Amino acid sequence: MTIEFETPKPIVQQQYVLKTVADNMMRPHARYFDENEHEIPWDYINFMHQAMKASGAGSLAPKEKKDADPNKPKRPPIGYQMLAHMLEIISWGDAGMYLVTPGGGLGAAAVQSAGNPEQKKKFLARFAGDKPTFAAMCMTEAGSGSDTSSIRATAVLDEETNEWVLNGEKIFVTAGEKALTVREETGKGFIVVWATIDPEAGRAGMRSFVVEAGTPGATVTKLENKLGIRASDTAVIVLQDCRVPFENILGKPTVEKTTKGFKGAMATFDATRPLVAAIGMGVARAALEFLKEKLAEEGIEIRYGVPRNRLTSIERDVIDMEVMARSAWLMVLKAVWMADNQKHNALEASMSKVKAGDVGVKITQKAVEILGPLGYSREYLLEKWFRDAKITDIYEGTGQINRLVVARNLLGYRGSELR
């Protein structure tokens, strides 16, 4: 197998455009939206929607396949790789504002992973509509965080109306308010709710349900005030006798003896965890570049190639930070390459997420330490990046949970055998 380290040309072109967006539409406004947490950056949202629509990136719906020219060499798939590079750059601009970029997020990823062709066509095509549209994943509950088998939200089929009746409370829903609220400024979004159709069946009874914006019985009851990524809304959503059509279930409506349905839904994270890792790497790169810039202003240059025992303490720290960042980024690239080539990547996805979460926190913390009061000051964005970095280690599976996933895959244990 030949490994190519050269970035594909379409990704290079995308990087140039997104760097301009990060420089001009994100960095200048990052502090304002950090300090005004629940204010929505509509200028950025509308610009990104139009840009994504014009480029064709807005539509997630399956496209009709055309007869391929058998004599034309096939282009290697780079969809997830392109996403990873995109998220790294715009998170370099601002991770919080990235999280309000219109699109499907985890909600659409769930439909893409577990939905049938009709569901994909119905729900995913709307992201290419005239208005910016949002989707969100509702999984976490007060008594069920990383242990998804503890989910208590229920879905009961009303056979008279052929509707699912959902009840429960979901917390820490990223973009939940924008996905569930009906606005003139946005298209019709949706949330994907994890619930059980049979509490006695454990994970085998878990299913996902699409709840569209404006559905009676689905209510945003609270917006969290957070440490970082403050430009992004994080909502509490209560489902009280919330009725959705029968066809809005993702997966089979019957309980099977296996956990195939649960594993299918969890496959969503195999695709998205490396992308979350890419977000963390963008934040880490922003902090590292800022640190080197400020050191250079003081006449401190990093001497590469000099024996380690002759380097200053600061030089050793910076070089170590760069090694951590590059190694973590290579793990991200491997995981998304595997996703593009439809290779099972549960191990690599979790490894990249663990590494990026750990490295992002260490790099931003060390940058703050080295710059001292300058790093701690709100005059610069470095302290904000320190706060933003921690979320990479928490959402879409905490570092501890992903370490368990890695251990289970390496040692061949089932979840019940290694907890």
Give catalytic residue positions: 396
d(CA 419, CA 404) in angstroms, rounded, equals 7
CB 119 within 8 A of CB 210: yes
CB 19 within 8 A of CB 106: no
Quick count: other Cβ atoms within 10 Å of Cβ 118? 9
CB 236 within 8 A of CB 221: yes
d(CA 133, CA 186) in angstroms, rounded, equals 5
Q: How many CA atoms within 13 Å lie on the side-chain side of 385?
A: 32
DSSP element (H, E) containing 15: helix 9-21
Instruction: Round to the nearest angstrom and report the end-to-end CA distance of the chain.
Output: 36
State the SS3 of 369-407: HHHCHHHHCCCCCHHHHHHHHHHHHCCCCCHHHHHHHHH
Q: Return the SS3 of 228.
A: coil
Please state the separation of Cα 1 from the chain's center in Å.
30
Q: Which two tokens stand for residue 283?
A: 């934040």
Please state the separation of Cα 29 from the chain's center in Å.
21
d(CA 260, CA 207) in angstroms, rounded, equals 11
d(CA 20, CA 31) in angstroms, rounded, equals 18
d(CA 313, CA 275) in angstroms, rounded, equals 33
Q: Give the CA distances from residue 172 to residues 136, 220, 221, 307, 392, in Å, rounded to whole numbers and listed in that order.
A: 11, 11, 12, 47, 14
Q: How many CA atoms within 13 Å lie on the side-chain side of 217?
A: 15
Name residues whose C-beta falls within 8 Å of residue 142's C-beta, 6 or more positions apart in sequence.
169, 171
